[in-house]
């Protein structure tokens, strides 16, 4: 075809021989020996990354994971109506899933650290955006897989589609008996697997891979089955995306209300908690030195209603439980000071030893000694023995005429109450 637009977007350019691609796909679906060990190690690495909240470690685990093999194999099997390959792919995917859940569950069960980190939370509430990422990520991966020159999309696809972290999060949910985490994360994993498979199926059909059967009835059944599964996967994802959008909208409105009604008027908010999932929704606040009467709290609740915010404002005052919560939070923050913070504080203290804080000294000197200019003050460490030192005042200055150094030294000695002076004329 000589159509320049078609030639520009033609996926057949650079395509690998179809039989070679199918052989590679079949080979990569197997989970035996080394592949199984690699999978177990990748799951363990991803679990550690989620446990310590390390994005770099999680990315490394995703790069070495062989989970894409049976998923792509299932997509090729559906696209070519190869039920033997489909059976093999689904069997190996099930093995990989069970092994992954088992390894991550054992790790999180024996791990002494079971705090919920942000990387874990990010894998518990799938939505429509995860569907898009899985579909287009899978599409890129399969396009690269069918090329003679594989290029570098494969590692990026492994990171974008994120099969390992949801499985590890599901394992965490099992280990801690947190089944909302388990079902949310496992649903995300299922979405990723399914839409990578669908992307593979569509590309295989587009590239016209040879069919293993020619019966139109079977083809129609497969198309209907895939359509039904797509709806089953997408509808809950759309609902979760809508819920997430409503929550973000609610939080934004509440933050604006707090800023306009309290922060901008000088109220110092020391505690804030927005309970979106409670019934009714609650906004809990506490102020540093401001107490509100019941009438004022009622007025603010009316303001919330006028802004169409379906929530109840609760001001916590004289609350001993709140004080203990704030104290615990402060203690946690102090305990989590990094080595970098400690180093910075140490350097600041060291700098303070050599800083002259009396800013009026230079002004007085310019009045009493007008010939002295460009004065720089500081402190230096003067060694008086091999194992001892003392801090001396250093004065750097310029003088247009011959300044009375002895008089300047005497004045500085009295003014600063020290005899350890070093005068340097530039």
Instruction: Find, among 128, 182, 185, the residue nearest to 162 by Cα.
Output: 185
For residue 102, the model assigns a pLDDT of 92
Q: Does position 401 have pLDDT exceeding 70, yes or no?
A: no
> 3-state DSSP call for residue 272?
strand
Is the domain defined by 247-335 classed in CATH 3.30.300? yes
| pLDDT, tens digit (0-9, with 9 covering 90-100), for 262-295 | 888 888 887 788 888 778 888 888 887 778 888 8
Q: Does position 359 have pLDDT exceeding 80, yes or no?
A: no
Torsion of CA 160, 145, 70, 166, to 10 degrees: 0
For residue 200, the model assigns a pLDDT of 85
Are 408 and 402 spatial neighbours (Cβ–Cβ below 8 Å)?
A: no
The pTM is what? 0.59
Which alpha helices (H) appear in 262-371, and where do they start and end? 294-306, 320-335, 339-353, 360-368
Q: Does position 384 have pLDDT exceeding 70, yes or no?
A: no
* Mean pLDDT, rounded, for 53-57: 80
- Cα of 65 vs its chain's centroid, Å: 20
What's the angle, vertex CA 145, arms to CA 196 and CA 126, rounded to 5?
20
For residue 159, the model assigns a pLDDT of 65
Is the domain defined by 4-213 classed in CATH 1.20.1080? yes
Q: Which residue has the higher pLDDT, 195 or 322?
A: 195
Listed in sequence order, the residues at least 6 apart from 154 whose beta carbon sits closer than 8 Å to its beta carbon are: 141, 144, 145
Are 85 and 73 spatial neighbours (Cβ–Cβ below 8 Å)?
A: yes
Q: Does position 105 have pLDDT exceeding 80, yes or no?
A: yes
Q: Do strands 281-287 and 311-315 pair parallel, antiparallel, or not at all (unpaired)?
A: parallel
Look up residue 341 and give its two tokens. Answer: 């913070």
Q: Where in the chain is the domain with CATH 1.20.1080?
A: 4-213
Q: Where in the chain is the domain with CATH 3.30.300?
A: 247-335, 353-425
10 Å Cβ neighbour count for 200?
28
Q: Does position 332 have pLDDT exceeding 70, yes or no?
A: no
Measured in degrees and rounded to the nearest 5, phi and psi for residue 387 equal: -125, 15
Q: Which residue has the higher pLDDT, 379 or 245?
A: 245
Give the model's confidence band at 51: pLDDT under 50 very low, under 70 low, under 90 confident, else very high.
confident
Element (H, E) at 225: helix 216-261
Q: How far apart are CA 299 and CA 304, in angstroms?
A: 9
Q: How far apart are CA 397 and CA 415, in angstroms?
A: 17
Percent of all residues in the chain with a pLDDT value above 70, rounded to a whole number = 76
Q: Does position 337 have pLDDT exceeding 50, yes or no?
A: no
Which of 101-110, 264-273, 390-399 is predicted least confidently? 390-399
Give the model's confidence band at 309: pLDDT under 50 very low, under 70 low, under 90 confident, else very high.
confident
| pLDDT, tens digit (0-9, with 9 covering 90-100), for 190-206 | 888 888 888 888 888 88
Q: Which residue has the higher pLDDT, 81 or 6?
A: 81
Q: Which residue has the higher pLDDT, 135 or 238?
A: 135
Distance set, CA 27 to CA 30, 137, 140 (Å): 6, 22, 20
Indicate the average pLDDT of the chain: 77
Sign of CA pseudo-dihedral 53, 54, 57, 58 = positive
| Residues β-bridged to residue 284 | 273, 314
Q: Do strands 388-399 and 421-425 pair parallel, antiparallel, or not at all (unpaired)?
A: parallel
| pLDDT, tens digit (0-9, with 9 covering 90-100), for 125-178 | 676 677 788 888 888 888 887 877 765 555 566 666 677 888 888 888 888 888
Which of 34-43, 56-65, 154-163, 309-318 is predicted least confidently? 154-163
Burial class of 124 by CB neighbour count within 10 A (0 to 12, 13 to 18, 19+): buried
Percent of all residues in the chain with a pLDDT value above 90, rounded to a whole number = 1
Q: 353-425: which CATH topology?
A: GMP Synthetase; Chain A, domain 3 (3.30.300)
Are 178 and 54 spatial neighbours (Cβ–Cβ below 8 Å)?
A: no
Instruction: Find, among 195, 169, 196, the residue nearest to 184 by Cα.
Output: 169
């Amino acid at each position: 075809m000589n159509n320049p637009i078609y030639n520009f977007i033609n996926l057949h350019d650079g395509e690998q021989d179809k039989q070679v691609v199918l052989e590679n796909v079949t080979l990569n679906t197997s989970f035996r020996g080394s592949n199984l060990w690699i999978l177990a190690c990748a799951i363990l690495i991803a679990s550690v990354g989620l446990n310590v909240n390390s994005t770099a470690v999680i990315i490394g685990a995703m790069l070495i994971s062989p989970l894409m093999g049976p998923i792509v194999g299932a997509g090729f099997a559906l696209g070519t109506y190869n039920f033997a390959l489909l059976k093999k792919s689904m069997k190996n995917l099930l093995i990989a899933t069970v092994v992954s859940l088992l390894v991550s569950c054992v790790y999180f069960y024996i791990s002494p650290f079971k705090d919920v980190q942000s990387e874990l939370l990010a894998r518990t509430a799938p939505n429509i955006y995860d569907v898009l990422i899985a579909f287009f990520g899978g599409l890129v991966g399969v396009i690269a897989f069918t090329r003679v020159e594989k290029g570098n999309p494969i590692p990026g696809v492994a990171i974008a589609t994120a099969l390992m972290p949801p499985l590890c999060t599901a394992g965490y949910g099992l280990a801690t008996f947190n089944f909302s985490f388990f079902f949310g994360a496992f649903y995300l994993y299922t979405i990723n697997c399914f839409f990578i498979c669908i992307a593979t199926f569509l590309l295989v059909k587009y590239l016209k891979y040879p069919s293993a059967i020619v019966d139109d009835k079977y083809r129609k059944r497969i198309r209907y089955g895939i359509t039904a599964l797509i709806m089953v996967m997408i509808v809950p994802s759309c609902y979760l995306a809508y819920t997430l959008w409503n929550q973000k909208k609610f939080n934004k409105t509440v933050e604006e209300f707090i800023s306009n009604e309290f922060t901008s008027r000088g109220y110092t908010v020391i505690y804030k908690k927005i309970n979106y999932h409670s019934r009714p929704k609650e906004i809990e606040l506490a102020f540093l030195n401001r107490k509100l009467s019941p009438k004022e709290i009622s007025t603010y609740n009316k303001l919330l209603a006028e802004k169409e915010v379906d929530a109840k404002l609760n001001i916590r005052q004289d609350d001993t439980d709140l004080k203990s919560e704030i104290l615990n939070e402060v203690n946690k923050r102090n305990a989590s000071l990094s080595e970098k913070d400690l180093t910075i504080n140490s350097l600041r203290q060291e700098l303070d030893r050599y800083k002259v804080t009396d800013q009026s000294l230079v002004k007085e000197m310019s009045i009493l000694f007008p010939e002295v200019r460009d004065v720089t003050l500081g402190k230096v460490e003067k060694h008086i023995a091999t194992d001892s030192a003392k801090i001396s005042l250093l004065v750097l200055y310029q003088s247009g005429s011959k300044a009375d150094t002895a008089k300047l030294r005497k004045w500085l000695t009295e003014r600063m109450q020290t005899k350890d002076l070093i005068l340097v004329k530039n």
